[in-house]
Amino acid sequence: MKDHIFNIHDVILLMTAAECILLAIFQAVLPAKNKASSILLTIFLLSVAVSATCVLMLWNNNVRFFALFDHTLLPYFLTSSLLLKGAALYLYVRAITQESFAIDSKKLGHLIPVAIGILWLVIFKIDTHSLVWFRDSANPLPNKWAVDILWGAIKIVPLAYVIAAVWKVRKYVTQLENQYSHFSPTEPGWLSVLTYGFLFSWSLTLLVHIIAEFADPSISDTFGITDNYVGFILINALFTYSVVYAHQLLATKPEVIKEEKTDEKVTSQAIAKVQTGMEIQKLYLKHNLNIEEFSKRIELPIKDVSAVINKHYGTNFFEFMNKYRVEEAKRLLLDEKCAEMTVLDILLQAGFNSKSAFHRFFNRLVGVSPTEFRKQAQKA
């Protein structure tokens, strides 16, 4: 009765699998504004649950289902889930950041690595015994090289996808700056932290695989156990993010605004229209203005507006608008007629709708806080 079926590290894997299943069920019953992102998050959670269960069964002889699964089917479930989780995470990031995202036939191409992995298992007849003992020098496997390649693939493919997800988040922030005059940095900031977290975790997974080839098994075990704990934390963080923050993200339109590297010159007429919108119409005073609405107001195509701001002014839409707003705020702070106005009143009248964004921009562009700027002006 003193024998333990699980150690604490096995319990973490078991908890990860159980929690992922519960969160997937919870995600499925939640009212979803974005069905595509909900489906992809559910697929990701289930793939992590399956992979955690399979890893637990692979290394713990006390955990068994039935003979056919234990000896033959386990590699198929493990391989499929590990190759699927990276694609699911990457597509989830796209789904919550792109307005035009849809799950269509083109997305099925992301199942190709899974299909290749399954075919590889069939061709080389890789079973559970092969996955566990492929590094056993005393009893070398005849298909060891095939198992080596399989293990490498199921470590590298998810890592490649999470690198793509990190790049996508960075591109998303750039697109926000090109399309919106105001956005909260909190939601994309947390998304960036999460993707970098998975990048760290899955890089650690690959490192464990490499270390196991050359170092003492205890070292790779330590890294592997650490990876399990990190994964458990990240799963909880990702689900919390999906419930609390994901629905607040502003969607971008990558098909409308493209970073085209052309030698096309910006016309003086286009520049004049943008200047008119800013200096005559004072469109920067409008809260939550985006580039699509701005282009309609000045009757200039979005791509031309973007070209003027990016090439002629050398900045993005976000910075361009808020520089004008800061100048307006400075004017109001210096105006004796506005002496009774609070800083909050001034930031709202200048076109800002966020106190934190106003203070961040004002301090960066002016060098002092709005309150200090007003005090210095009054002393002069």
Secondary-structure breakdown of the chain: helix, strand, coil percentages, each rounded to the nearest 5: 75, 0, 25
**How far is the C-alpha of 247 from the C-alpha of 239, rounded, in Å?**
12
Provide, rounded to the nearest whole percent, the portion of the chain with pLDDT above 70: 90
pLDDT score of 354: 86
List the chain residues with pLDDT less than 70: 1-7, 32, 133-141, 215-221, 254-264, 380
In the predicted model, what is the mean pLDDT of the chain?
Answer: 88
Question: Residue 294 is inside which H or E element, if any?
Answer: helix 291-298
- pLDDT digits 0-9 by tens, 151-203: 999 999 999 999 999 999 999 999 999 999 988 888 999 999 999 999 999 99
Provide, rounded to the nearest whole percent, the portion of the chain with pLDDT above 90: 61
Cα dist from 369 to 208, 306, 364, whole Å: 49, 30, 9
- pLDDT digits 0-9 by tens, 17-39: 999 999 999 887 877 678 899 99
**How far is the C-alpha of 211 from the C-alpha of 225, rounded, in Å?**
14
Q: Which of 284, 283, 292 is nearest to 250 (CA)?
A: 292
- pLDDT digits 0-9 by tens, 108-141: 999 999 999 999 999 999 988 888 865 555 556 6
Q: Which of 333, 347, 337 is nearest to 378 (CA)?
A: 333
**How far is the C-alpha of 230 from the C-alpha of 118, rounded, in Å?**
28
Instruction: Yes or no: say if 113 and 184 are a contact pair by the CB < 8 Å rule.
Output: no
Domain 268-379 class in CATH: mainly alpha
Distance from the Cα of residue 285 to its chain's centroid: 32
pLDDT score of 300: 95
- Sketch the domain layout of the chain as residue ranges: 8-248, 268-379
Cα dist from 325 to 260, 307, 339, whole Å: 28, 21, 18
Query: CB neighbours of 318 closer than 8 A, spacing ≥ 6?
Result: 176, 177, 178, 180, 181, 182, 183
Residue that is written with structure tokens 């990701």 in the block: 44
Cα dist from 69 to 52, 58, 65, 78, whole Å: 15, 11, 7, 11
Residue 130, number of CB atoms within 10 A of its CB:
19
Residue that is written with structure tokens 């309609």 in the block: 296
pLDDT score of 336: 87
Domain 8-248 class in CATH: mainly alpha
Structure token pair of residue 170 = 């960075």
